[in-house]
Structure 1
Amino acid sequence: MDIVEFTPQPDEYAWTFGGAAPVRRIRPGTALKLWTEDAFCGSLRSTADLASASLTMPFVNPQTGPFHVEGAEPGDTLVLHFVELTPARSWGVSATIPFFGGLTSTDRTATLQDPLPERTWIYEVDTEKQTVGFQAQGSDFEVSLPMEPMLGTVGLAPAAGEVRSSLVPDTFGGNMDTPEMRVGATCFLNVNVEGALFSVGDGHYRQGEGESCGTAVEGAMNVVLIVDLLKTPGPAWPRIENDDYLAVVGSSRPLEDAWRAGQVDMVGWLGSLYGLDKLDAYQLLSQVSEVPLANVVDANYSVVTKVPKRLLPAADVYSGIHRHLRDLAATL
């Protein structure tokens, strides 16, 4: 197996999906060992640092990539298996940002209310206990929370020459902010352009479903993943398989359209796996689905439709590539 290591310099970050030149060309079957910067570009390092004074739009959510996958053509399925996600710093950071978040006025949900006050929280990482520490600023309350690393952004170049901000989730993946994008997960994405041109970033040391205030415990991340390619039709929306679930991530506004997108694609996926017609798959999904919110704060909202494998017969999902990559990961 080829192993490629890459740590971007600040002038090598990608800020969009599409429109950026590849940083490396790799072959299917390659393992990548990467470093990703946090969503704030490392500019928030203490509780005295405030987002409005420290961030420069649109230079947030820096991506590591894009990577050109040799042989990838439009309509193929790009496969990414996440082997390791390890905090690259001893601290993570979260913040409230003016006119951003689920429970404040925004540019799209306009009210006459003033924005919520700005505040920054620093979470100390305890690598031995695998926790991050929350410290309230309005009281002496403290609590340690389990570290659950994930990637907020996993995506590739959109079709038709489109260029999208790294803040946006859509059919190409992008800033989905789902905790499902964690170690042991295999992500399936539809290739839109030659080479796929995929990027990853926006590491979170942990995040609640929905990412209520708009920021997780953001942190730089060491990432190990395996890249593969299937010459089979790519999915309409990003799909994820782990040992316990099949999942689809739909992204849109309003929120119910994000839910509908994932539900429709899962109906199709169940139909193809079990030979079900549309109505039978729809009925089955209605009785077995779990639907966590991924984000309710980004330019599009993201909703995950999950199906527990334990409730269904074993199926040959993408020719068993998740099992294959999981076993391959164990050899790294």
Structure 2
Amino acid sequence: MDVIEYVPTREQYTYTFGGAAPVMRVTPGSVLRIWSDDAFGGALRSVDDLSAEKVDLRFVNPQSGPFYVEGAEPGDTLALHLVALEPARDFGASAAIPFFGGMTSTDRTVSLQPALPDTTWIYELDRERGTVGFAARHSEHRLELPLEPMLGTVGVAPAGGEVRSSLVPDRFGGNTDTPEMRAGTTCFLGVNVEGAMFSIGDGHYRQGEGEACGTAVEGAMTTTLIVELVKGGAPGWPRLQDDDQLMVIGSSRPLEDSWRIANADLVGWVAELSGLHTMDSYQLLSQVARAPIANVVDANYSVVVKAATSLLPPVNPYDGLHADLRTRARSLGSV
């Protein structure tokens, strides 16, 4: 398969889902190799670079795209299989940004406490060892952490002509910040507009569940993915599949509604695939599902509800598309 390369110029960055002209038209079956900048647009490069001075929160999470998928119509299902995620810089940056994050006052959770101190951490990448280095700012502690690349943002244009910030997760995908969005995963998104208009970005070299301080180890990324299209069957919320699990991402506030959204969609998906009655699917998933928090910092919070396929009746989502995409990925020399 031919691989289509795309490296945006800074002028081509977009900061929304919806509202932007396509950068390229692609056909189903295409393989794309896409470069994306980090969430800060490369502004934080040393511990002396502070977000208050260098980062404008109106222009974070620059997206690469949108890509117009030929033949995609509202109600269809866009499948994006992540073949490989490769760090595109030798360092990643993380920051405690004033009045941003899960453990500080924010514009939504207001208190009289002052902001946490504006602080930047730089993680050096060791490609040979497959690690990123944590260096404490207030002591001499150093730790090597495993490199676990993921994408914070994968999404399509929203319905109804909406234009949403690249900080927002919702039905269209967007800034879900789940570590499950990694190589080997297929993401299924409902198409809302002609061409789907998908974008990706916000590469993370690793991230804990919840993204507590509001930033991961943010880094530029080169992502290889395969684009496919399923006519009809659009899911209401983003669905993920890897070799071992079915997953749904729910995004809302409060946090429990994010869980309810994802749980309800997974119950319905498993019932549809297996032939189980909805109540039996609900009961089964009550005993086998797991529900990691993706983020508690974005405009909406995101929760992933997932179930191991080994604990479910036989299921074959989208007629085995994920398995087919995995085979195609291997032909590219990636697993």
TM over 0.5: yes
Q: How far apart in 2 are the matches of 1:109 and 1:313?
A: 43
What corresponds to 2:241 in structure 1?
A: 241
Give CA deviations for 1:264-311 in whole Å, capped at 9, x if unaligned.
100110110111222111111101100000000000000000101121
Q: Cα offset for 1:3?
A: 2.3
Shift in Å at residue 75 of structure 1? 0.3
User: Is the partner of 1:200 in helix, strand or coil?
Assistant: strand
Q: Does 1:26 align with 2:26?
A: yes
Contact 1:203 1:221 in 2 (8 A): yes
SS of the aligned residue for 1:217 comes to coil
The aligned runs of 1:246-261 (5 Å cut-off) are 246-261=246-261
Q: What displacement does 1:56 show?
A: 1.8
CA deviation string 1:198-248 (max 9, x = no partner): 000000000000000000000000110000000131111000000111000
C-alpha distance in 2, partners of 1:2/1:90? 28
Contact residue 169 and residue 302 of structure 2 kept, 8 A? yes
Q: What SS is found at the alignment partner of 1:58? A: helix
1:283-302 equivalences in 2 (<5 Å):
283-302=283-302
Q: Distance in 2 between matches of 1:148 and 1:34?
A: 18
Q: Which digits, 9 at most, give the CA deviation of each residue in 1:144-201, with x for residues without a partner?
A: 0000000000000000100000000000000000000000000000000000000000
- 2-side partners of 1:140 and 1:244: how far apart? 40
CA distance in 2, matches of 1:56, 1:302: 23
- 1:109-258 correspondence to structure 2 within 5 Å: 109-258=109-258
What's the C-alpha RMSD, in Å, of the aligned pairs? 0.7
Asked whether 1:70 is paired with 2:52, we answer no
Q: Is the 8 A contact 1:8 1:64 kept in 2?
A: yes
Q: Is the 8 A contact 1:153 1:200 kept in 2?
A: yes
Partners of 2:154 and 2:174 within 8 A in 1:
yes
* In structure 2, C-alpha distance between the alignment counterparts of 1:113 and 1:247, rounded to whole Å: 38
- The answer to whether residue 15 in structure 2 is matched with residue 15 in structure 1 is yes
Measure the CA separation in 1 of the matches of 2:57 and 2:317.
Answer: 41
One-letter code aligned to 1:287: Q
Letter in structure 2 aligned against 1:216: A
**1:91 equivalent in structure 2:** 91
1:104 aligns to what SS in structure 2?
A: coil
1:2–1:29 contact (8 Å) kept in structure 2: no
Q: Which amino acid aligns with 1:158?
A: P
* Contact 1:251-1:261 within 8 A present in 2 as well: yes
Cα deviation per residue 1:107-160 (whole Å; 9 max; x = unaligned)?
000001001001000000000000000000110011000000000000000001
Map of 2:38 onto structure 1: 38
Write the distance in 2 (CA, Å) between the matches of 1:9 and 1:331. 30
| SS of aligned partner of 1:196 | coil
What pairs up with 1:305-320 in 2 under 5 angstroms?
Answer: 305-320=305-320
Output the TM-score relative to the length of structure 1: 0.99
- Residue of structure 2 in register with 1:47 after alignment: 47
Amino acid at match of 1:147: L
Q: Counterpart amino acid of 1:313?
A: P
Deviation at 1:2, TM superposition (A): 4.2
SS at match of 1:206: coil
**2:324 corresponds to:** 324
Query: Where does the alignment leave 5 or more consecutive residues of structure 2 unmatched?
Result: none
Structure 1 regions of 5+ residues with no counterpart?
A: none
CA distance in 1, matches of 2:21, 2:105: 36
SS at 1:53 equivalent: helix
Deviation >2 Å, runs of 4+? none
Q: Does 1:104 pair with 2:107?
A: no
AA matched with 1:182? R
